[in-house]
Amino acid sequence: MKKEQKKETTKDMTKIVMIASIVLVFVILVNSYFLSNLSDSLYPGSSSKNVFSFGLGSKNGEKDLSKVDISSLKSTTHSLAAIFPIEKIKTTQDAIDIILPKGTPEYGEELGVSFDDPVAALSFFHKKLYPQIKAELKQDPELWKRYIDLATKPVGISCEYCCGIGPIGINKQGESLCGCSHNPAIQAVTMWLIKNTEYSDAEVLREALKWKALWFPKNMIELGLKLSGGEVDLDNLPGMVGGC
């Protein structure tokens, strides 16, 4: 009799454990569902893996650019406000964290460049990639036109702060308006992304501005701080990175 009671007790405990496990799995699935929905509502265009990433959505936890109208941008200042979450900036460190990229971009491994070494990237973009990608892009009239249309808008795809040419770095024929290393470099980034990725114009612009911020940190951080009304303290930031 005692053996039978022991068997029944064991069966009951097994049932309880199984039921508890099922309930636990159900709760986890429900929580995941609601977290996913919450992510979609708070961060439009994002996936659940980006919920805890910095930014407002889109790939890599960055700001959602799907509604950015490139034609409405009339200056680098406008572009910065449209592309980056400027409203989050309160201090110089906030601006640095938001505007200056770190690590390796998703195309960095293919090109052999990293945000953490902007001088080496500048040399590669200017000396090697620029002439190569320019010649390649010219072979595709549609892509070449897309590049010209984007880069001749005053959106900030230029060296701007080293030579004073303003936010447009090329003429209507696609020729550089400045002989420095920074201008061909930022044009090379723009052309390569247009040719080799599915990035929208706004996403291409974001990457170009990231590199521009690395090469001209003081100017770009100052723009971000002025836009946000944050406290300006730029004493420790270089005006230009890499030789002109």
Q: Answer yes or no: do 192 and 140 share one domain.
A: yes
Of the chain, the percentage scoring pLDDT greater than 70 comes to: 74
134-164 pLDDT, tens digit per residue, is: 999 999 999 999 999 999 999 999 999 988 8
**Domain hosting residue 14, numbered range:** 2-42
In this structure, the answer to whether residues 97 and 20 fall within a common structural domain is no
Termini Cα distance of the chain: 93
Q: List CB contacts of 188: < 8 A, sequence separation 6 or more.
A: 125, 126, 129, 130, 133, 134
Does 117 map to a domain?
Answer: yes
Helix (H) or strand (E) holding 190: helix 182-196
Q: Is residue 176 part of a domain?
A: yes
Average per-residue pLDDT for the chain: 81
- Say whether both 15 and 90 belong to one domain: no
In the chain, the number of structural domains is 2
115, 218: one domain: yes
* pLDDT band at 242; cut points 50, 70, 90: confident
User: Rounded to 5, what percent of the chain is helix, strand, coil?
Assistant: 60, 0, 35
Report yes or no on 61 lying in a domain: no
- Is residue 51 predicted with pLDDT exceeding 50? no
* Confidence class for position 166, pLDDT limits 50, 70, 90: very high
